[in-house]
Amino acid sequence: MKAILSSGIKRLTVLALGFYIAISSISSLSAQTLTVAANQWQLISFTHLPDQRTVEDVFGESATNGTLESLWGFDNTIKQWRSWPVRDGVASSNLSQLEPGLGYWVKTSEEVIVDLADATNSVGEMVLNPGWNLVGLPITGDMPHDQVLASVPYLELWSYEPAQNAFLAVRRAAGSRIILEEQFSTLSPGKAYWIYLSEQATLLPSLGTLLPPDIDIEPLLTFPEYGQETLWGTLSPGDVDWDEDGFFDFPNTQKSIAFGDFLNRQRISIVNEGNSVLSWQATIEPAVDWLLFEAFNEDGEPVLTNIAIGSATDTNGELILVANRVGLPPNGIYTTQVVLRANGAVQEKRIDVALEVADVVGDYEVTVRLDNIDGKDADLHNPKYFLSFARDGQGVKAFLDEERSLLIPETTYLSGSMVADPQSHVKVLGQLFLPVGHAHNPYNRDIRREFTLIGHRSDGQDGLPPLDLRGDYAENIYGLFDQPIQLKGEFVARRLSPLPKKQDLTVSDAISGEIVAVDTDSGISTFEFTVTDRLSITDIKTNLKIDHLSPETLSISLVGPSNTQIILHQNQQRSLADVRFDDFDASVESLDNFDGQLAFGLWRLVIQNTSANVGTLEKWTMDIAGATVYEIQGQTEPGTQLQLTGCGVVRSTTADASGNFSFDGLIPCDYDISVVQHGYEVTTTNVRITSCVKTFEEKCDTQSDYIVSMTAEQLAEMQPQLQNANGQMEVVVSPLSLTILPTQDVPLEVKAVDITQYADLDTTLQSRTWELYKRINSWSSITSQGYLVDVPASGQQSPLTNLISYSENSNEWTPSASVTIERASITDPRGGNNAVKATHNGDGSAGIVFDSVNIGEGSFPILKDQLVTFSVFVKPGSLNEVSLRFSSGDAVLTRETINITTGAHLSGDSLMPRVTSLANGWYRVSVTAKAPQDFGSLNCELQLSKNGSVSINSQEHLYVFGPQAELYEESQSLWVPIGVGDITIFIPNPRNSGYLTTGANHAIAEAPQQQDVLVTAQSTSVGTWTHNFDNNPAQAGVYYIVLNSDVKNSAQQDVILSYTTADITLFDAQLDAVHFGIHSVHAGAGSSGLTAMDMATFDINRPPLADTEGEEDSDSFGNEVDEATLTNKHNEVFEGPNGGFIKNGMDEPVGDLNRHYRMYISTGQLFFGGSVYGNSGASEEENSGENLRLDVGIQSAEEGE
């Protein structure tokens, strides 16, 4: 098959045991095309066609601009011609729709390339009638006619060759397959052929597969019939049911393939269980990086792809699956599916694929090939090492075995980590130190060898078994010359065993004693053992031999030196006469929880007996494996931040109030310890840890044997030094920006360091006072120009005109009789004193605070499809609810009642509500609506609300400032193809940032009074100051620090020196709001306000209409079916007295997640403020914003769209 691929993609045709595969290296189907040459008659056919199969749909512009001159088809049943274009009065001029598998005469005035990329309808059953038939055959590459038509008793087969303007024929003898004449031997895709038969024949291929069967070992199952899946019953040890369906599967019934952790390649045999040609396509869904198909191109080179297309007749073929484990962490099972689609009786088969990645833990034989010394290529020796890997918690420890390795005179420790990136699996570093006088050091200077190994698993093509490692090797040798020798090369590590052979090991003495009954010491017996080896634990085995009449009354725990407690046995019905946890016997909790902890110290075995039976602990032993580790201790200035690096380890710590610090869990190595504190120079010292070695009689068994105390010279070299302030007062702050994430409990820390050299200023420091201020003119407030800054400066929208005159002059407002408004003695959101206190007298009527219709230019015209945002700044008093309404004349069009502090929708329509928390307890509340028609006069109204109702029966109040209305066009749309047709996601770009126009026509009563807020102040002599911000959106804003230093000048006078830092910005992750309206030719959907960062993923889910059986998961969809789109109509129009007004929003609950579609749109990470659907009817707890999924109701009448 010829596949014309997109630019830059190679075209490949591959022969694989009887069928052809066309493959591409891209993750979607390559565009399949059919080329029609110009100015000549040709016989063509289509193996696949799209859903819309008219001549105009298939040939596109060529059918409308005159390029396609004529097209003729032949009805093989009634033996009549049909033609295109349709002509009045011509009976045969009735060819309107094309069919796959039929042949057509075609002529064009220019070359035409028919794009069949979206063609999904293939040739199924093909009936050949007696007489002549004009057909196309479902093949993807040139194939011999005796294979394609092996089951067809044809007498003549004709092929038209345009270059010769002649037919070529194959003729058979009647009643036999003997060929009398053969003028051509192969059939080609895209061509049509005349076939003559004396009797009817049917061609119906059928897709079948042969996969690796389940494994059955003795005792064997009894199979009633080979090839028929059989119920397992009980699995015996060694039996394997790959798909875990409870049935033994033969190759033909198997539905899954498992690579385990020990296979790189698997095979699928594709079988045509019918006749004729089976055309198939294999894809990997979802596409994954770790699985591809393998084939061979025209040059015989192996090629990997995630799409394969081929044909099969009566010959089986193999589809080879290749696993790539590079960069995959060993944490679970990776799954996907191989999807086979074909023509014929079986049109789709899905094969589950599972892959595992072995842990790096084990014993390896390592062969190193050195090919570079000091940057120059060289042919060097190839050392062989034996290396054991073990896990100590999240890290990895490795051991070079001196007994089996060349040129390794003593155990060499390496440390590092498992990594998951495209290049490696594990990275370990270590060193071998041979001091002067060492038995294996003949030189008069210390010798040090540094090792680095960065390894990965097989990519499936390198011939490496999946349990082995390969990668880069580097070694630096110090001491032989003045400069180090640098060796580089590659290594291959062959796994010998899944268990590390080389580790440090502690074996305890046998402990025994009496297990008391419940009436003694509450039935608790404790046994103790002290470990003197300082191991970082990689494995623990503990053996118990207990004699007790009722083990089910015993609870047994192992407690480590750090008080980690692991339950070994808890009242189970099992013998404890000889158990070994976690080896042959499983503990209740895993002993792996000790990994990475220190073995040094007191271990306790605690047995709780709830019976009156006394028992005996006959034996308790422990085998603890790990790596001997050490601790570095030192002392510096309190609060100093320090970092240690070396041998694959990066650690950070902060000196305590006394200046003490330590780094623990370190293998013998050279480490750099640095001061990494903001405001300080980076000062570094080197600390070497060497293995503790004593005589056989005198062992390393005390804590001090494993502690390396830094020398005075090392501490002096690392002494913290302030950065040079260049003879000026200066304070360094870090960080200067933070992002508030309400889902996290960890506070946001800001640290300031005074780096002023007061002696250089001829002053003597007496004390410091640190002050933190929040700018009232900041992100969570309003600028002096009236613009609410709640997005970064680079992303601010241009201010729009506030359509409400006198919005800041409450003297012009006309509240209802039940509401009194008065100037409030509080700071307004902009730092002035224009806030208004609105009080309802409690007479039960609706309390209108503000109605723009009665205020100057408050009413304004709006055109169909324009958007309007109405907002107001409010501060809760005894009330914390408001209702915002749109009306025209006296008719209310739509409204929404909102809780000010939570943003919860309380009543009315969902109008994309938005609540932003500001400084000093203020909130900005806004709603956005879209006009369904033109309105000559639209006005906005603000009402008080209590318990979701605007009728208030008690005296209540809240504070109001600056109502505003902004008008704009809908903008920014993103098109996402879903099935047939498009879904358009409109981003209406509502005004997240309010704008209050300044100027006389808006009658500002007085100029804003800017006043920054003092958050906290502290007097101290310490030059470092820290403040922790809560992860609360109300904290968002711009801050700065002021340091007031009380000093004495050269005249011994008291002077205050002040320094103001750069701004510190706290970003609110919920500040940038995006409102989505989803529209589709297949479905209606609502809109919802949600908050996003720059990069996110949206989940858009909706069950097919056919699956819902009339039950909808959102009242935003009505029960009525739209006949044009075969979907539910969107119930989005609120019918008011003077026309409708579109409401935007969806209400919970959602439907069955298992039946929803999913679509990903990468634009940023989402942080939802409450329910995605406008919070209708949801409790405050339900609106906590923890649901990170947008379900906006994409729905289709057809599955898969």
Q: What is the pLDDT of residue 880?
A: 93
Higher pLDDT, 499 or 1182: 499
DSSP 641: E
CB 1085 within 8 A of CB 989: no
Where does 731-778+1011-1066 sit in CATH, by number? 2.60.40
Mean pLDDT taken over the chain = 77
The whole-number average pLDDT for the span 755-776 is 89
Tell me the range of 218-227, 293-302, 1074-1083, 1143-1152 where mean pLDDT is highest.
Answer: 218-227
Q: Is the dihedral of CA 354, 359, 365, 367 positive or negative?
A: positive
pLDDT at 596 > cutoff 50 = yes
Q: Which residue has the tokens 């993923």?
A: 1097
Higher pLDDT, 1031 or 802: 1031
List, in order, residues 6 or more apart from 176 with CB less than 8 Å away: none
Q: In the chain, which residues fall in CATH 2.60.40.10?
A: 630-717
Q: Is the dihedral of CA 127, 131, 136, 140 positive or negative?
A: positive
CB atoms within 10 A of CB 519: 9
| Nearest-angstrom CA–CA distance, 170 and 1182 | 75
Distances (CA, A) of 756 to 960, 1042, 1059, 1122: 46, 14, 10, 74
Closest CA to 952 of 821, 881, 847: 847
Q: What is the pLDDT of residue 1112?
A: 36
Q: In the chain, which residues fall in CATH 2.40.160?
A: 362-497
Question: What's the number of CA atoms in the CB half-sphere (13 Å) around residue 751?
Answer: 13
Determine if residue 601 is left, alpha or beta; phi over 0 gives left, psi from -120 to 50 gives alpha, anything else beta.
left
Q: What is the pLDDT of residue 802?
A: 67
The whole-number average pLDDT for the span 813-835 is 81
Q: What is the pLDDT of residue 393?
A: 80
The angle at the Cα of 542, spanning 536 to 545, to the nearest 5 degrees, equals: 165
| Nearest-angstrom CA–CA distance, 176 and 1082 | 55
pLDDT band at 991 (very low <50, low <70, confident <90, very high): very low
Higher pLDDT, 1199 or 686: 686
pLDDT at 938 > cutoff 90 = no
Of how many residues is the chain composed?
1201
Closest CA to 740 of 750, 753, 755: 750
Q: In the chain, which residues fall in CATH 2.60.120.260?
A: 504-628, 793-969
| Nearest-angstrom CA–CA distance, 663 and 417 | 17
Residue 670: both structure tokens together? 């050279």
Distances (CA, A) of 443 to 412, 418, 436, 480, 678: 20, 37, 7, 8, 44
Range with the lowest mean pLDDT among 474-483, 679-688, 739-748, 1069-1078?
A: 1069-1078
CB 247 within 8 A of CB 229: yes
| Nearest-angstrom CA–CA distance, 142 and 153 | 21
What one-character-per-residue DSSP string does 6-48 give?
STTPPPEEEEETTEEEEEESSSSPPPPEEEE-SSS-EEEE-SE
CB 1071 within 8 A of CB 1036: yes
pLDDT band at 695 (very low <50, low <70, confident <90, very high): low
List, in order, residues 6 or more apart from 6 with CB less than 8 Å away: 26, 30, 31
Q: What is the pLDDT of residue 831?
A: 58
Range with the lowest mean pLDDT among 209-223, 873-887, 902-916, 1166-1180?
A: 1166-1180
Range with the lowest mean pLDDT among 341-350, 434-443, 821-830, 980-989?
A: 980-989
Q: What is the pLDDT of residue 862?
A: 83
The whole-number average pLDDT for the span 966-986 is 40
The whole-number average pLDDT for the span 1060-1080 is 54
Closest CA to 1180 of 902, 879, 881, 921: 902
* Amino acid at residue number 204: L
% of the chain surpassing 90 pLDDT: 43
Q: What is the pLDDT of residue 981?
A: 31
CB 162 within 8 A of CB 42: yes
The whole-number average pLDDT for the span 575-586 is 90
Burial 58-74 (b: 16+ CB within 10 A, else e): bbbebbeeebbeebbbb
pLDDT at 259 > cutoff 80 = yes
User: pTM here?
Assistant: 0.63
Q: What is the pLDDT of residue 131?
A: 94
The whole-number average pLDDT for the span 902-921 is 79
CB 364 within 8 A of CB 380: no
Q: Is the dihedral of CA 223, 224, 228, 231 positive or negative?
A: negative
CB 174 within 8 A of CB 155: yes
The whole-number average pLDDT for the span 893-915 is 85
The whole-number average pLDDT for the span 556-570 is 95
Range with the lowest mean pLDDT among 6-20, 91-105, 111-125, 386-400?
A: 6-20
Question: What's the number of CA atoms in the CB half-sphere (13 Å) around residue 713?
Answer: 2
pLDDT band at 970 (very low <50, low <70, confident <90, very high): low
Burial 1094-1104 (b: 16+ CB within 10 A, else e): eebebbbbbbb
The whole-number average pLDDT for the span 36-44 is 93
Q: Which residue has the tokens 């060097």?
A: 380
What one-character-per-residue DSSP string does 495-551 give?
EEESS-S--EEEEPPPEEEEE--TTSGGGEEEEEEEE-S-EEEEEEEEEEEEE-S-G
CB 636 within 8 A of CB 660: no
pLDDT at 1147 > cutoff 60 = no
| Nearest-angstrom CA–CA distance, 917 and 780 | 7
For residue 1047, the cross-strand partners are 765, 1055
Q: Is the dihedral of CA 873, 877, 880, 885 positive or negative?
A: negative
pLDDT at 31 > cutoff 70 = no
CB atoms within 10 A of CB 285: 11
Q: Answer whether CATH 2.60.120.260 is correct for domain 793-969.
A: yes
Closest CA to 297 of 22, 25, 12: 12
pLDDT at 373 > cutoff 60 = yes
Q: Is the dihedral of CA 918, 921, 924, 925 positive or negative?
A: positive
* 385, burial (CB in 10 Å: exposed 0-12, middle 13-18, buried 19+): buried
The whole-number average pLDDT for the span 559-565 is 95
Q: What is the pLDDT of residue 865?
A: 78
Range with the lowest mean pLDDT among 404-413, 699-708, 1041-1050?
A: 699-708
Higher pLDDT, 121 or 801: 121
pLDDT at 636 > cutoff 90 = yes
pLDDT band at 68 (very low <50, low <70, confident <90, very high): very high
pLDDT in tens, 182-198: 999 999 989 999 999 99
Task: Please state which of the four CATH numbers 1.10.1060, 2.40.160, 1.10.3470, 2.60.40 is assigned to the domain occupying 362-497.
Answer: 2.40.160
Q: What is the pLDDT of residue 943?
A: 94
Residue 432: both structure tokens together? 């071998």
Where does 630-717 sit in CATH, by number? 2.60.40.10
pLDDT in tens, 321-349: 999 998 888 877 999 999 998 887 888 89
% of the chain surpassing 70 pLDDT: 77
| Nearest-angstrom CA–CA distance, 1141 and 1134 | 5
Distances (CA, A) of 523 to 566, 603, 606: 19, 20, 10
Q: Does residue 1143 sit in helix, strand or coil?
A: coil
Q: What is the pLDDT of residue 1015?
A: 87
The whole-number average pLDDT for the span 1037-1050 is 91
| Nearest-angstrom CA–CA distance, 1030 and 494 | 52
Q: Is the dihedral of CA 992, 998, 1000, 1005 positive or negative?
A: positive
pLDDT in tens, 637-661: 888 999 999 998 889 999 998 999 9
pLDDT band at 985 (very low <50, low <70, confident <90, very high): very low
Where does 504-628 sit in CATH, by number? 2.60.120.260
pLDDT at 1092 > cutoff 90 = no
The whole-number average pLDDT for the span 67-78 is 92
The whole-number average pLDDT for the span 985-989 is 33
pLDDT at 483 > cutoff 70 = yes
Q: What is the pLDDT of residue 1068?
A: 61
